[in-house]
Amino acid sequence: MEYLRGFKKYRFFHYSATDPLKASMDLTAGIESFNKSMGVSFFKRKHSFINFFFIFGISNLILYVVSVLISGYESRHDITKLIYCVATFGFCCQATMKIYSFIITRRRIVDLYEINLRYYQDMRSQSNAVKRVLCDNASLIYIVIKVTVLIYLLLVIIAMAIPGLSSIFLDARILPFGFVMPFMRADTFAGYLANYGIQVVMAIYYWIITVGSDITTIYNLLTAYGQLDVLMTSIEELNEQLERDESSEKIRDKIVEIIRQHQHHRSYLQQLVDFLNPYHFVTLGSTVPTMVISVLGLVLLDWYPGAAIVFLGSVQILYICFLGTSLEIKVLTTDALTLKVGAIHWNKLSSRDMKYMNLVLAMTQNPKMLVVATLPLNITAFLKIHKLIYSLIMMLENTKD
């Protein structure tokens, strides 16, 4: 994550604040303004989904599912078109899970938001060092959100533009997705343009719902990331108090505050992990088979659009694993929090305070991580998935020869 902070020097990515609560409210307000484009709210208890943007988006999703099923049935004797339908159906599964997770069970997202709001309100009474850490973390969240929006937008533009440009230079007319609208043939120029336009609209809605859900996840995960920085800062302040031989009451209050912060972090992260587990399970469970099917079409049938689908799926998996790795590095690789606790002046603690800090030390050695079932979500998982796909490619190549 640290190298991303370098983007702060560019005006487009620059954000600074002095109040953690204001910074949090600015970030959530930005996410909410983006989510208005699909007619939803992730941070308000009371929200009416009876609005044009939401109904239009859900109608597009229903039309997408119907079109894929009908096109798949009509193309059952053409293996190339059938593979295209089956492969792009994976994106429908993702969109459905996003709607379920972030709209139907929206209450859990609102719960997390309100927990964060209370946390930032409490942090306003902390030291300037703690508030500075939280403001720096808000700046990092702002950068990652903007980078995510731009990357996903670029991917959608490429996915939509390449089929159209290819159709100019090739005899066959290629559509971005592997289906045609019911009762709307794509073998005529007018029908092709109509199908292309509708699929572009669907792709834009998919981009909006993907970005909206993912930047909300970024906000929540990097808030947990910042909570660890606050813990380490508080432990440093405790050590400074011990060096100054401050009163036992102040030392005790600081230790109690550290324990309270750590309990909050573990409870918050557990609640977030419980919410994200089924979401990531379906995302990986639909993306990996989509990539495998695309590889089959690419290797066995020279189906070149499959390469674009594999690339899109790979980027989505990389994004999920990148967030998990960032949190894992923060907690495990350097053992920063454990080292901070172990480096305090234990000899200046009372027996009772030592017991409290031993409890903190024990909890730091059993951190919460992002997982799917029993698989930790990190770069190692990303490499394992691609190693499996590469092995499949090699096996198919040998079989083909």
pLDDT above 60 for 332 = no
**Lookup: tokens for 65:** 């599912």
Weakest-pLDDT range from 31-40, 101-110, 163-172: 163-172
pLDDT above 60 for 333 = no
User: Which residues, 6+ apart, have CB-to-CB distance to 394 below 8 Å?
Assistant: none
Check: CB of residue 160 under 8 Å from CB of residue 177: no
pLDDT above 70 for 109 = yes
Structural domain tally of the chain?
1
Check: CB of residue 48 under 8 Å from CB of residue 156: no
- Cα–Cα distance measured from residue 63 to residue 195, given in angstroms and rounded to the nearest whole number: 12
**Lookup: tokens for 81:** 């078109």
Weakest-pLDDT range from 35-44, 57-66, 123-132, 345-354: 345-354
pLDDT higher at 1 or 351: 351
What mean pLDDT is predicted for residues 67-82? 84
Check: CB of residue 333 under 8 Å from CB of residue 339: no
pLDDT higher at 167 or 109: 109
pLDDT above 60 for 149 = yes
**Lookup: tokens for 160:** 């939509």
Give the pLDDT of residue 197.
92
What mean pLDDT is predicted for residues 231-259? 86
Mean pLDDT score across all residues of the chain: 83
**Lookup: tokens for 159:** 């996915």
Weakest-pLDDT range from 268-277, 323-332, 346-355: 323-332
- Cα–Cα distance measured from residue 335 to residue 316, given in angstroms and rounded to the nearest whole number: 28
What mean pLDDT is predicted for residues 156-169? 83
Q: How would residue 111 be classed by pLDDT, with cut points 50, 70 and 90? A: very high
- Cα–Cα distance measured from residue 78 to residue 166, given in angstroms and rounded to the nearest whole number: 21
SS3 sequence of the chain? CHHHHHHHHCHHHCCCCCCHHHHHHHHHHHHHHHHHHHCCCCCCCCCCCCCHHHHHHHHHHHHHHHHHHHHHHHCCCCHHHHHHHHHHHHHHHHHHHHHHHHHHCHHHHHHHHHHHHHHHHHHCCCCHHHHHHHHHHHHHHHHHHHHHHHHHHHHHHHHHHHHHHHHHHCCCCCCCCCCCCCCCCCCCHHHHHHHHHHHHHHHHHHHHHHHHHHHHHHHHHHHHHHHHHHHHHHHHHHHHHHHCCCCHHHHHHHHHHHHHHHHHHHHHHHHHHHHHHHHHHHHHHHHHHHHHHHHHHHHHHCCCHHHHHHHHHHHHHHHHHHHHHHHHHHHHHCCHHHHHHHCCCHHHCCHHHHHHHHHHHHHHCCCCCCEECCEECCHHHHHHHHHHHHHHHHHHHHHHC
Weakest-pLDDT range from 170-174, 221-225, 244-248: 170-174
Give the pLDDT of residue 117.
92
Share of the chain above pLDDT 70, in %: 92
Provide the residue range defining the domain that includes 312: 1-399
Weakest-pLDDT range from 1-5, 51-55, 77-81, 243-247: 1-5
* Widest CA span in the chain: 84
CB atoms within 10 A of CB 127: 12
pLDDT tens figures, 14-37: 888 889 999 999 999 999 999 888
What mean pLDDT is predicted for residues 333-361? 73
Weakest-pLDDT range from 218-222, 254-258, 344-348: 344-348
**For residue 130, with 0-12 CB atoms within 10 Å meaning exposed, 13-18 middle and 19 or more buried, which class applies?**
buried
Give the pLDDT of residue 1.
61
pLDDT tens figures, 269-328: 889 888 888 888 888 888 888 888 888 777 776 666 777 778 888 888 887 887 777 777
pLDDT higher at 21 or 354: 21
What mean pLDDT is predicted for residues 323-345? 67
Give the pLDDT of residue 336.
64
